[in-house]
Amino acid sequence: MSEIVPPEVRPKPVVPAKPSHVAPHSSGPFVPSPQGTGGEGRGSALLGYIGIDTIIEQMRKKTMKTGFDFNIMVVGQSGLGKSTLVNTLFKSQVSRRTTSWSRDEKIPKTVEIKSVSHVIEEGGVKMKLTVVDTPGFGDQINNENCWEPISKYINEQYEKFLKEEVNIARKKRIPDTRVHCCLYFISPTGHSLRQLDIEFMKHLSRVVNIIPVIAKSDTLTLDEKTEFKQRVRKELEACGIECYPQKEFDEDMEDKSDNDKIREAMPFAVVGSDKEYQVNGKRVLGRKTAWGVVEVENPNHCEFSLLRDFMIRSHLQDLKEVTHNIHYETYRAKRLNDNGASGGNRKNTD
Amino acid sequence: GGYVGFANLPNQVYRKSVKRGFEFTLMVVGESGLGKSTLINSLFLTDLYSKDYPGPSQRIKKTVQVEQSKVLIKEGGVQLTLTIVDTPGFGDAVDNSNCWQPVINYIDSKFEDFLNAESRVNRRQMPDNRVHCCLYFIAPSGHGLKPLDIEFMKRLHDKVNVIPLIAKADTLTPEECQLFKKQIMKEIQEHKIKIYEFPDTEDDEDSKLIRKIKEKMPLAVVGSNVVIEVNGRKVRGRQYPWGVAEVENGEHCDFTVLRNMLIRTHMQDLKDVTNNVHYENYRSKKLAAVTCNGVDATKNKGQLTKSPLAQMEEERREHVMKMKKMETEMEQVFEMKVKEKKQKLKDSEAELERRHEQMKKNLEAQYKELEEKRHQFEEEKANWETQQRILEQQKLDASKTMEKNKKKGKIF
């Protein structure tokens, strides 16, 4: 497992996250390109090609070499398809699979936190993916405060990072175990959010990025889906719960319009599967029932591909940044204030 | 011997029952959003729950309620009074400890009512409101039973016929469904939960049918009353982009099995088991508690330890009390009416007073007006008189002067 460092996360990098515009080796080296991307604010005509724009390529190379890590937490009652979904998202067996539920693994009496890490590679880029599972959440008869162990875990990760940062002799690359994204699984009742859902999201939306998803959505017809989503959105608004992407962190109009589109489509109604079936001559991931095959990646059937594109292909870096710049900073400010108020070093009492 | 004719007895029983009509009470329990209302609508082909009278899941409850709705269904001359007992709020709170207690209380209270009715001397009308069957809805997690499911069924299997169902079964593939069913049955056995068991029969055909049903337990159901066209046929089902899940298709779900079992073949047996097993359990426990103590610890009204005379005395007392109550009620009503009438009379009296005043005022005003007019008239009269007098005087003067003049002028 390689030592990984979050690439230039603090302050917010000036270059875009997607290295879509790869450095133009090809463009004529002597064309004075008045690009002026953040350096000297004046769009002055350069007298020759300097090569500032190759920084994008350098960053890309570095990222590829060091890789990066991403921590995702899945929360929801048992049997909502969390593990299957995570496996489907990352197209590999990264989560403990519990379809062959042997009752040796009884439902735990309290919420447990179990994390599993894997390194997956794609296109030369290495990612250390950590999936944090929360078995036992919402499964008991009395679920009072079952979000507390989760909240504690998240704060513990912030504390670990803070301690490393505050050290006199710091490690070159601080290992990042903070939870970048929390997928919250909503049961597809078709009616409204459960009390437990609201309580959880109220307590944790200010601490971590929450992305709510409607689990096992192949149980809802299209009409039921639209109605349910509308109702869920209304309820979230009414309770003042802000899920990722949060409105307050939209930076410019482009961001806002992109994110607005996403916010309109949330929560995503997903279906997960790791089995393939033959449909119209193609092999697709899906679930086979007696009346048809639910295709996981078909946008007419469910919104899995939307979720995947959103989470991984466009907003992965942003998730990490918001976690670092906002959630972590909030925690840090609070901790340092508390420390200052009580005067002197204080042991971690979280 | 010859033909006696008692083979006709079943027909007689049948005819009598049809005349009397049937009663059946069905209880549905499960978390909200599991399709209970839809299933009830589908089973009985009615809209017991609709947009105007939504099912329990649409009515958000803070605590568990137990509500009943009655519907009268007629088919082929047979009349069924169906009572559906809902439990909105079950399992929906964050803390669901004891959410089964209201359900247990309800079932017990119905047993108690029946016990009392049975113990009376006058037993002419004995409605049977006991819960004959409880459909328990299990969420289709695909894993196993939840702690709440186990707890509920353990507490209720001695009081009512529990039939567990897998709700919204169209969310499971056939393999997942099989595994899930096996897991559930395993756990039911582990926890020694006694779900409703189909009675064995000697009839070969029936026992084959029953064995098939037993293999499918717990039944995986899907409900819908929406009619969709599939390959030229009209079926009830749920329309998805990838196909139509048909409610009455045995390959898709066990709805028809449930319906046939519940309504067409085992309704009477459910009632019998309720009467012979669950009710008797309740009764013996209740009575044992009473006789054990010697002193009546419970506030039970109809006790069988009393002699019929005492029972009659008791009933007489009840009747007298009832009469007294009615009397007091009537008195109260009478008082109220008297008060009302008094008030009304007072009101009309006040009204008359007012009018009287009003009229008096009017009269006075008129009087004044007339006075004024008279005064004016008097004035005018006085004026005129004075004027007349002046004229008279003038005339007199004039005639006087004329006389004088005449006298003076008489020389000529």
Q: Predicted confidence band at A186 (pLDDT cuts at 50, 70, 90)?
A: very high
Question: Quick check: helix, strand or coil at residue A282?
Answer: strand
pLDDT at A5: 43
Whether B38 and B223 have beta carbons less than 8 Å apart is answered as yes
Instruction: Check CB contact under 8 Å for A143 and B139.
Output: no
Q: Which of A187, A195, A291 sits opposite B252 (nearest CB)?
A: A291
Which residues on chain A are in Cβ contact (under 8 Å) with B238?
Answer: 221
Which residues on chain B are in Cβ contact (under 8 Å) with A202?
Answer: none
Q: What are the structure tokens assigned to B37, written together?
A: 């209302």
The CA-atom distances, in angstroms, between B248 and each of B43, B221, B222, B234, B260 are 11, 10, 9, 11, 11
Q: Which of B237, B261, B258, B225 is nearest to B170 (CA)?
A: B237
pLDDT at B59: 56
Which residues on chain A are in Cβ contact (under 8 Å) with B168?
Answer: 219
Q: Which of B33, B96, B97 sits opposite A187 (nearest CB)?
A: B33
Residues A241-297: pLDDT tens digits? Answer: 988 888 887 778 888 888 888 888 889 999 988 888 888 888 888 999 888 899 998
Instruction: Check CB contact under 8 Å for B241 and A288.
Output: no
For residue A79, the distance in angstroms to the closest alpha carbon of chain B comes to 4
Q: How many whole angstroms separate alpha carbon A204 and alpha carbon A187?
A: 18
In chain B, which stretches have pLDDT less than 50? 294-303
Whether B25 and B129 have beta carbons less than 8 Å apart is answered as yes
Q: How many whole angstroms separate alpha carbon A313 and alpha carbon A305?
A: 10
Residues A120-134: pLDDT tens digits? Answer: 887 778 888 899 989
Which residue of chain A has the CA closest to B93?
A195
- Chain-centroid distance of CA A247 in Å reads 16
Q: How many whole angstroms separate alpha carbon B278 and alpha carbon B160?
A: 6
For B210-244, b/e burial (b = at least 16 CB within 10 A) is beebeeebbbbbbbbeeebeeeeeebbbbbbebbb
pLDDT at A26: 40
For an interface test with B, give the residue of A84, A133, A221, A273 to mutate (most B CBs within 10 A).
A221
pLDDT at B297: 43
Q: Which comes out higher in pLDDT, residue A167 or A98?
A: A167
Cis peptide before B218 (omega within 30 of 0): yes
Q: Which of A78, A80, A293 sits opposite B242 (nearest CB)?
A: A293
Instruction: Check CB contact under 8 Å for B141 and A199.
Output: no
For an interface test with B, give the residue of A103, A202, A219, A288 to mutate (most B CBs within 10 A).
A219
Whether B205 and B256 have beta carbons less than 8 Å apart is answered as no
Q: Which of B93, B142, B190 sits opposite A195 (nearest CB)?
A: B93
pLDDT at A328: 92
* A101 shares contact with chain B (CB less than 8 Å): yes
The lowest-confidence range among A20-24, A179-183, B194-198, B369-373 is A20-24
Q: Predicted confidence band at A45 (pLDDT cuts at 50, 70, 90)?
A: low
The lowest-confidence range among A154-158, A222-226, A247-251 is A247-251
pLDDT at A347: 47
State the DSSP code for A142. Answer: B
Whether A136 and A107 have beta carbons less than 8 Å apart is answered as yes
- Cβ-Cβ pairs closer than 8 A, A with B, add up to 112
Which residue of chain B has the CA closest to A199?
B94
Instruction: Check CB contact under 8 Å for A143 and B94.
Output: yes
Which residues on chain B are in Cβ contact (under 8 Å) with A143?
Answer: 94-96
Question: Quick check: helix, strand or coil at residue A157?
Answer: helix
pLDDT at A29: 44
For an interface test with A, give the residue of B99, B141, B180 to mutate (most A CBs within 10 A).
B141
Instruction: Check CB contact under 8 Å for A222 and B176.
Output: no
Instruction: Check CB contact under 8 Å for B57 and A191.
Output: yes
Instruction: Check CB contact under 8 Å for B94 and A300.
Output: no
φ, ψ at A239 (rounded to 5°): -90, 0
Residues B162-193: pLDDT tens digits? Answer: 999 999 999 999 999 999 999 999 999 999 99
Cβ count within 10 A of residue A160:
16
For A313-335, b/e burial (b = at least 16 CB within 10 A) is eebbbbbbbbbbeebbeebbeeb
Does the pLDDT value for residue A52 go beyond 70? yes
Which residue of chain A has the CA closest to B100?
A141
